[in-house]
């Protein structure tokens, strides 16, 4: 029996991974979810094995320990602004938290993977964990949020919200994003170098997997790209729906018919 490891470090991504895992025959594969302690019980209630790690820790002063709800709350006012005005607030805070999380998580993931010895690793995230590439098995990237996480020069920048019919603002958004993200990206590239991985160009934090990449959304609404995918390495899942227990409508003791 082969072992598949799933990893996600956010609620939405975790639920998408659950839906994918539910479609894998359990008779042929053992599925293990590797996750932070804060996810305890989330995967086991769906019948999956959990391998929990102390990724985020208890240091309240650390950006890594700070919950995503706090990151959003601290930048709440930014969400009322045009996306280009969110770059210096929420977007940079978002990437800073993710990069710091990856730096702390990587040695824990490396140790966990050495113990589990997975056949493939599937992860849904926006940054690279060197432990996944260096485990010695195929790794699968899941893109659940936005196809624009995989950039294309003719398409809107990720997180911009811009239309494909108005490309006049692309260059300005990209310029400001790259300028603001550069210190965080330099920290990330140093992290990659420390783990013997090649640096990424400014603004890039993850690459397509050379093995397989899963896009959650329907191919029918995919962007028309100037740089075509290698289709034997990309699969559109055309949606993602979890199987839940039947919902029993509660009785309130009154006739509401």
| Digit-coded pLDDT (tens) for 149-187 | 999 999 999 999 999 998 999 999 999 999 999 999 999
Cα three-residue angle 32-38-44, rounded to 5 degrees: 35
What does pLDDT average to over the chain?
Answer: 91
| Residues 6 or more apart in contact with residue 135 via CB below 8 angstroms | 110, 113, 114, 118, 121
Confirm whether pTM is higher than 0.85. yes
Q: What is the pLDDT of residue 37?
A: 92
Closest by CA to 91, choosing from 186, 200, 213, 174, is 174
Q: How many CB atoms lie within 10 A of CB 149?
A: 17
Tens digit of pLDDT for each residue in 88-104? 989 999 999 899 999 99
Domain boundaries, the chain: 2-236
d(CA 124, CA 140): 9
Contact 141, 206 (CB under 8 A): yes
140 phi, psi to nearest 5 deg: -115, 125
- Please tell me the CATH code under which domain 2-236 is placed: 3.40.50.2000
Q: Are 153 and 224 in contact (CB under 8 A)?
A: no
Q: Are 101 and 77 in contact (CB under 8 A)?
A: no
């Amino acid at each position: 029996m082969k072992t598949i490891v799933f990893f996600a470090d956010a609620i939405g991504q975790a639920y998408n991974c659950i839906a994918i895992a539910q479609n894998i025959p359990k008779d042929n594969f053992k599925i293990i979810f590797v996750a932070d302690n804060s996810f305890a019980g989330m995967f086991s209630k769906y019948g999956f094995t959990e391998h929990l790690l102390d990724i985020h820790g208890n240091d309240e002063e650390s950006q890594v320990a700070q919950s995503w709800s706090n990151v959003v709350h601290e930048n709440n006012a930014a969400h009322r602004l045009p996306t280009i005005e969110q770059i210096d607030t929420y977007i940079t805070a978002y990437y800073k938290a993710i990069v710091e999380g990856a730096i702390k998580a990587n040695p824990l993931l490396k140790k966990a993977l050495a113990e589990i010895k997975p056949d493939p690793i599937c992860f849904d995230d926006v940054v690279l964990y060197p432990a996944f590439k260096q485990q010695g098995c195929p790794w699968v990237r899941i893109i659940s949020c936005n196809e624009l996480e995989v950039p294309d020069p003719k398409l809107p920048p990720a997180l911009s919200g811009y239309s494909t019919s108005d490309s006049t603002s692309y260059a300005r958004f990209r310029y400001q994003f790259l300028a603001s993200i550069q210190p965080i990206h330099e920290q990330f590239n140093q992290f990659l170098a420390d783990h013997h991985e090649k640096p990424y160009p400014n603004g890039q934090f993850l690459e397509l997997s050379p093995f397989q990449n899963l896009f959650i959304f329907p191919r029918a609404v995919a962007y028309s790209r100037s740089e075509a995918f290698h289709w034997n390495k990309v699969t559109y899942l055309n949606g993602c729906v979890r199987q839940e227990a039947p919902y029993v409508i509660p009785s309130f003791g009154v006739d509401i018919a």
